[in-house]
Structure formats: structure tokens, C-alpha cells
Chains A and B, each alone.
Chain A
Amino acid sequence: MTTEPLKPRVSFSAETSELPGPTGTKPDRLIQINSLNLHYGTAHALRNITLSMDEQVVTAFIGPSGCGKSTLLRCLNRMNDLIDGVRIGGSLEIAGHDIYGKDVDVIELRKRVGMVFQKSNPFPKSIYENISYGLRLHGISDKSERDAIVEQSLQSAALWDEVKDRLHRSAMGLSGGQQQRLCIARAIAIKPEILLMDEPASALDPIATARIEELILNLKKQFTIVIVTHNMQQAARISDFTAFFYLGELIEYNTTRRIFTNPSEKQTEDYVTGRFG
């Protein structure tokens, strides 16, 4: 039983990356978004977003429904590609690579930028297969290696002790909170460097939510986490930086402490104090 922390299998630095990049030097920030605009058909969903994030920090996106925070999150692993009529302008660089460049391998990108969804969505397969699916996708054919990673990921997602005796039973038999932790285990099993979380606890009860939050604080040591949340307290508890969005615009981006104690914008203050939203 190995308990060593998960490490990225492939370094994401510009020198060794297979992703093409405009520069050969290591960029200052891991994620650099420059005047990003996104349209769904005629709707202008993201307006001129400029934002950058560092490695191994938790960044929270907050804002009322429809403000574009989830859309921006999905830009980071190009999940928006699936929607018809999406147009994206501006640039979005990860580790110095424009991920919307023509020669980007989306599959490689999604391997490095994992995602956890709002509603837990384990496959209707066994717990073991749920995690090993991603491993097989990425060519880990050795069973003992897969077994080790499955255990390691479940340990990291604080689920191992609860499921170790029923790894080959269906994941659909787990509780909602367990399912969501399984989804996190599944996402981290392929060892991404960035983990996107789209309101991962919004469908869970307070106890399950607390476990997920605890988990996020632990995962922060290995991953760069971007989390969308509706829950102000949650953002305050777990994030290092917070970005407040309103009607597709980035209103304010700063350290979480600053956003919640001394925001510079009136709208931010109104929102975090619960006056609207």
C-alpha cells in the first residue's frame, strides 16, 4: 500500500511539453487569460475577461447565476467545444501554450486539466472500473499499475476505507457524497495538473460538503484548483483567490481575504454580504 502523494506524471513546463507554445521560457503564471470573449450564438456570455492564476492555489469563481463563471471554467478544458454555436475570442494560455491554438490536442489537454461536475456523475460501472476507465484511456494497460493507482486515488479522495471491500460493486450504490468523492478520485487518477470543480458540493448535505471541502484543502498541495461555487462561506473557507463575476464581466479579482473583508468594488461588497444575488 503506497501513500506517497500523487505527482504529475508529465511535467507541464514549456521545455518538455508536447503542447506547442509561443515561448520557450517558463511563464510566470500557470494560467493566463487575456481579453477572453465568448458568444453563445448571439448571447455575449463572457466579456473581455483578463485573469491569471498560479500553481497550487485554489481560486474560487463566484457570482450570481448566469454570470459566466461556469462558462469560463469550461473554457479551461475546452468543454465548451461540445456546444453548438460557441465562438471564442482573445487568448487562454496554460503554461505558456495557447490552448485554443489550431494544433492543440484536446484529449491531451483534458488529461492535464481534470474536471469534477456539479452533479456527481459516476459511470454505471463498478467503483474500480470508474477509476480505471481514465487510466485505460491513457494507455495504462498494466493491471497491477492500475490497481495501485486506483487505491492511491481513492486514498487521496478519502474514500478508500469506505469502499475498499466493494471495489467491484456498482458505483451507483454509493451515497451522493461518496459518488462525488469517487468522481474526484476518478479525475485525479489520471494525474492532471489543474483540477476544475463546477459547484462540486452544491447537491450535497452539509456533512458531505464539509468532507469535500476538507478534501479540496488536501488536494491543493498537489493540484491547482479552480472552483465555481454559489456558496460564499465555501469560497471563503477553501480558496486563496476569489474572482467575482457579474453579467459576463470580471468585476473583481483578488485574494479571498481581501474580497470578503475589504472589496474595492461596491457590487462585490453587495454580493458577498448578501445584498443581491
Chain B
Amino acid sequence: MDMVDLPNASSPSHLSWNGVRRGSRKAPLEWVLERCIFLVSLSAIVLVFLIFAFVLRESLPVFLGRVDSTVAQRVIPADQMDTLSSADLAKYLDLSEREFSEMDRDTLRLMMEVKGESAAEAPLDKDAGVNTASWRYLLLPHQWTGYEKPSYIWQPVSEIHKYNVVPLFIGSLKTTLVALLFSIPLALGAALYVSQLAPPRVREWLKPAIEMLAGIPSVVLGFFALIVMASVLQNLVGAESRLNAFVAGIALGLAIIPVLFSIAEDALTSVPRSYTQAALALGASQWQAAWQVVLPAALPGVFAAVLLGFGRAIGETMIVLMASGNASILSWNLLDSTRTITATIAAELAEAVFGGHHYRILFMLGTLLFAVTFFTNLLGELIIHRLNRRLEGKA
């Protein structure tokens, strides 16, 4: 009778622990949701990759030197059509293999005739025989007919298509530089003030107020720059052209201030209060503690903010399209009208012939822009990594 209450081998108490074994009760809904979220996030990455792959594919012929924008072409009379192999014919008519296969003989003949006629109308320019879409003419100056000296010219719709990308790069760099020079001191100053010096009550309204700037659509900022700022700045500095790199840069700066501010403020706020306390206990003023101790400690984050601001500024389109004047002049003068890469793509892509050299070169500009931001970010990440290691005392 006493034996009944004692644990024995036939009913071991550890049997109830079987529930800890995996798989017996995994909630199916959770599993499905988990997979869904994973797939969605994966698709975002895939999408970005696909977009880049598309842009690269469209611009690849330019990089490989396979685009020919020569105006004067060797003309093959239409009745010699049969002497050409089908591959040569397709190349002569600038057709892809698939397009070529879809066309009948009469269409091809007609195309050859049209091509012959347009070639006859082509100007007898010394530059007519130049392939302006080759790297030599994309990057280096050339003395075009009617010019006094070799120049960098972007004129894609003139009779001789001039595709020199240097003025556009300079234009983008100029406006971005103005934007950064204008916004970094303002945004960092505001971030330092809000995170370190402002009384809590001021911080409560100042922080959202600055971040609300991010909500202004760039087209509205561009409009404001075009109508108001341009006139005010022209009166102030006496620029010859009302719309110029300076106006566009300032408007661009306004657009990136909230980005810079927000990230820099986060970085400064996350610096341990104990650093500030230590500095104050040594007899530093609040300002000295913020400037000499907190800011250096937050440098990686501040640098990341600047980097993101750079990316935003160089990629921003609407403001520069509206406020820069869009003249593709090669000049370092900030008060000259200028044209950026982004504005060029936005303004010209819709009118470029699909698959033509203009179209391909615009895509090439897109690829280069992507490369610039990508490598800037990469370099920035490396610097941030090194700064972090130094702050942590590992380097």
C-alpha cells in the first residue's frame, strides 16, 4: 500500500518534459507570417538589384563602345541590299536581331532608302564623321566647328550630337557642394543645440519643427527657389543670371537640412551623458562639453549624416531642374547657370529616341551617378568603421 505513493520506473516524472522537444507545437500562423515578411524584405533587395541591372543593361553599349552617333555614315545604296549579310544589314539599319527578324524585305528596303536620303541631307561638317558617343568625345574637350578652342560641350539635339558629360558632372558637384557648405553648419549647429544645450521645453518644439522641413515636397522648394529666392539672391549678390548653381545649391541645402539634422541629432543624443557630466565636473561650460567632448564622440554618426546628405543632394532632381538655370556651361563660377546630371536625365529622357545613342548616354549618366553615390557611401562606411574603432580604443 505504501508503495503506491512512491515514484517508480513505470511512471517516470520526466515524461512530462516531452513538450520541450521542438516541432510538436509550432504555431503555423506565426510560421507563415515569418516567411511572408522574409519574402517581402527579400523582394525589396531583389527589386533594387533589378532596377540597377536594367539601368546598367541600357547603358552597357556605351561602356563597351558599341554606340555610334556618327552623323555622316557610309551610305549603301538600297539596290545593293542583297550584297550584305543579314547581320551586317541589321547593324547598318541599327536594328536588334529580333526587330530584324520581324521585318519583311520591303520594309527593310524602305528603311535603307530613308537612311540614304537622310544621309544626303546631313551637313558637310568636319565633325560629321566623328562618333561623338565614344569615350574620347564623352570626356575630353574637342574643337567643334565654329568654336575657337577645344571645349566641353553637351548639346545632344544639335546636328552634331555633342555628348561631353564633364559640364554635367561639374554642375552636379557645384550645386551639391553649395548645398553641403550651406546645410552642414546649420544642421550640425541645430543638432548640437537641440541635443546638448536647449532647455527641454525648447527641444520639444524645435526638433519636430526642423524635421517637418523634410515634409516639404521638393517641387514646392524648387518653386520657392525659382520665384522668391532667385530674385532675393540676385539682388544680394548681383548675379548675372537669375537662376544659377548658388540658388539651386541653397534650395538643395534646405532640402537636406532635415536629413542631416535628424541623423546628427540622434548621434549626439546617443553619446552617454556621463561624458558631458565628466566634462562639466572638470569645469567645462555646457558649450565646451558639447563642442569638445560630445561632438568628437559622435563623429561617426555625424559623418554618416553628412554622407547621407551628400547622397540626397547629388540625387535630388526637381529642385535643381527648377532653380539651376539648366545651362550646361563648364564653369566653376557659382553664379553661372548650371545643369546637373539628374536634371539632364529628367529633362531629356522623355524625348530621346528609344534605344538610340542619346537614350543610351542618359542611362550611362544614371549608372555613373549610381557609381558615384555607391563608392562615396562605401568610402564613408570605411571611414565610419575606422572612427568607431578609434573611439572604442581598438585602433
Contact = CB atoms under 8 A, between A and B. Distances in A.
Contact of A169 (B285, B296, B393): B393
Interface stretch (A64-72, A112-120, A154-162): A112-120
B150 interface: no
A174 B391 CA distance: 12
B39 interface: no
Nearest to B281: A115
A183 interface: yes
Contacts of B288: 137
B280 A121 contact: no
Q: Is the interface of B mostly helix, strand, loop or mixed?
A: helix
Interface size classification for chain B: 20 to 34
Interface string A133-145: 1100110000000
Interface in A81-123: 82, 84, 107-108, 110-111, 114-115, 117, 119, 121-123
Contact of A123 (B280, B293, B392): B293
B284 A121 contact: no
Contacts of A121: 272, 274-275, 277-278
A173 B292 contact: no
A181 interface: no
B279 interface: yes
A107 B284 CA distance: 7
A183 B282 CA distance: 11
A118 B288 CA distance: 23
A190 B280 contact: no
A45 B178 CA distance: 53
Contacts of B166: none
A109 to B, nearest CB: 8
A173 B280 contact: no
Contacts of A186: 278, 282
A171 interface: yes
A169 to B, nearest CB: 7
Given A121-B272, A124-B297, A187 B393 contact: no
B352 to A, nearest CB: 52
B275 A138 contact: no
A110 B283 contact: yes
Contacts of B391: 124, 170, 172
Interface in B272-327: 272, 274-275, 277-285, 288, 292-293, 296-297
Interface of A: 77, 79, 82, 84, 107-108, 110-111, 114-115, 117, 119, 121-125, 133-134, 137-138, 169-174, 183, 186-187, 190
User: Which 7 A-B pairs have CB atoms at the shortest separation, nearest pair first?
Assistant: A170-B393, A172-B393, A173-B393, A121-B274, A115-B281, A134-B282, A111-B283
